[in-house]
Structure formats: C-alpha cells, structure tokens
Amino acid sequence: MTQEKIQTRYTLNGPLASRAELEQAITRAIEANKQDFFPLLERLVDVGDSRVKLSQKDPLRVLGVELDEARTGGTARLSYESNFAESCRLIDEYDQHQTSLAFTLDGDQLIFDLELPIAWNVDN
C-alpha cells in the first residue's frame, strides 16, 4: 500500500496586511473549498464499515487558524461530524470530531500538503 498525497492550493482574497486579516482570509478559503477536504475527512472516519458517513448537513467548520511568527505557515483547526462514535458503534446521531492541518503560505497562496491515512482494508 502506498500513502496517498493531495496538494491543494488556494489564492487568498481580501486585505492581508494584518495577522487577523490573513487568518480570516485563510478561514474563508478553507470554507469556500471545503469539498476538497472531504477525501481526508472520509479517510479519518474510515473504519472498514460502509455505513460510516460524514454529515452532509455540517461536514466541515473552521474552528481557528494559527499562524507562525514569520507568517509563512501555520495550522488550521477543523471540526466535522460523522456517525462514527468514539465507542466504535454506529449511532443515528452525528458525533463531532476535530483535526488540525498544517499549511504553508507563499505570497497570497495558501498551500496544504495532505497525506491521507492508508485506506482501511480488512483483508490485511
């Protein structure tokens, strides 16, 4: 099995002069392109059971963005919902999950280099 990698690149819009403006632009870019993150989120909740699904109602929310001191990268904290509970049983309600994703900045470009977890395979 090989590790799958996805690189996503987005152009940041709006004023980017202050730290707060840059963090807001990053949040807007993620939220405007949330479908690009679904392969990662689906893999994070993949437990080898096809009944486990991401919530279509509220699949992704940005909880916060933290920039490094040089403003060349940082971390985005994301929240998402699935019907996989931590107790490993499927429920009719959706459970909240969180993950953090590192990113880099190149001028007005927001870049995510995502490594997807290896797909679940019960035959291994």
Question: Which pLDDT score is estimated for 5?
Answer: 82
Looking at the structure of the chain, the number of domains it has is 1
**Is 116's pLDDT higher than 80?**
no
Percent of the chain past pLDDT 70, that is, above it, reads: 70
Does some domain include residue 91?
Answer: yes
Report if pTM > 0.85.
Answer: no
In contact, 45 and 84? CB cutoff 8 Å: yes
Q: What gap in Å lies between CA 117 and CA 10, rounded to an integer?
A: 23
Q: Which residue has the tokens 């291994």?
A: 124
Q: What gap in Å lies between CA 37 and CA 23, rounded to an integer?
A: 18
Does some domain include residue 121?
Answer: no
What H or E segment, with its residue span, contains residue 20?
A: helix 19-32
Does some domain include residue 26?
Answer: yes
Does some domain include residue 122?
Answer: no
Does some domain include residue 20?
Answer: yes
**Which range marks the domain in which residue 86 is found?**
4-116
